[in-house]
Amino acid sequence: PRRVRVHHLREAKSAGRQLTMLTAYDGPTARIFDAAGVDMLLVGDSIGDNMLGHATTIPVTVDELVVATRSVARATSRAMVVADLPFGSYEASPAQAHATAVRMLKEAGAHAVKFEGGRRVAPQVELLTGAGIPVVGHLGFTPQSENMLGGKRIQGRGHDAAERLKEDALALQDAGAVAIVLEMIPAPVAAAITEILSVPTIGIGAGPQCDGQVLVWTDMAGMGDWSPRFSRRFGEVGKALHDAAASFVSEVQSGAFPTAEHSYDS
């Protein structure tokens, strides 16, 4: 299948075709999501709280995301692979962002990078775009700033906050962003931002009127016990995996596995 590229994102928006994005952190899951037709795979810094045992995304390192991105990129043939730039790897300057993003493309095989923030990171978006690196923006609740934002809270409530979000979105678009993730903002605010932008918005907890939707795959698949309110459990993969492992344990213990058909003759 043809690789999803940046011009397909704008085409999808013009055609009113919803874009789909899931996180992926390793090859086996990425291969499954790619075959299922997911347009974009995000190697998110949510690997920190979903896979690596951290409480937040803050401790995630560039090296960790390079390894994860490499395994995802090698397993896909259609999806656009987007690598997050982790906390501390892009905020200080456009040059810092460029150095990190180059690693994601050269060492890991990403097709685009994503990082958090509005006007404050527009210079980063502009430099990377000029250097041939597609950038996805990320506005609203931005987990890397949770220490400033006072925890996991809805952003953009009230007229002034909504206006600031719009200006941030326009600044990212003007700087060259190819798409913008909107996280945990009121649905009407996300709809208004989607309306004024020519590049697609991809929502998570941002209502149905975005140009696409993204979910953390473990929430989407029902991998853990809990999924956030804005997510839906499209499967019960955690239970399926538990049952498979429990069957393995009981069949080994009972002697039902392995049998002659799983064994080699001398």
Residues of the shown chain interacting with Na ion in the complex, contacts defined by CB under 5 A: 44-45, 84
Contacts of 249 (CB under 8 A, 6+ apart): none
Q: Is residue 214 close enough to count as binding ligand KIV by CB under 6 A?
A: yes
Listed residue (11, 136, 13) closest to 82, CA to CA:
136
263 is in an annotated binding site: no
Considering beta carbons, is residue 34 or 84 the nearer one to ligand KIV? 84
Rounded Cα–Cα distance for residues 36 and 194 (Å): 26
Q: Is 45 annotated as a binding residue?
A: yes
- By beta-carbon distance, which residue lies closest to ligand KIV? 44
Asked whether residue 49 is marked as a ligand-binding residue, the answer is no
Question: Is 126 labelled as part of a ligand binding site?
Answer: no
Under rule CB under 6 A, residue 181 binds ligand KIV: yes
Nearest distance from C-beta of residue 52 to Na ion, angstroms: 13
Cβ 195 vs Cβ 207: under 8 Å? no
Closest by CA to 125, choosing from 171, 66, 166, 167, is 171
The H or E element containing residue 209 is: none
Residue partners of 59: CB distance under 8 A and separation at least 6: 48, 52
User: Does 219 participate in binding ligand KIV (rule CB under 6 A)?
Assistant: no
Which residue, 190 or 192, is less far from Na ion as judged by CB?
Answer: 190
Q: What are phi and psi of 41, to 5 degrees?
A: -110, 125
Which residues are marked as active site? 183
Report 33-72 residues binding ligand KIV (CB under 6 A).
42, 44-46
CB-nearest residue to Na ion: 44
Question: What six digits make up the tokens of 73?
Answer: 């990129």
Min. distance of Cβ 143 from ligand KIV in angstroms?
7
- Can you say which residues are annotated as belonging to the binding site for 3-methyl-2-oxobutanoate? 45-46, 84, 114
**Residues in contact with ligand KIV by the rule CB under 6 A:** 23, 42, 44-46, 84, 138, 181, 183, 204, 214, 216
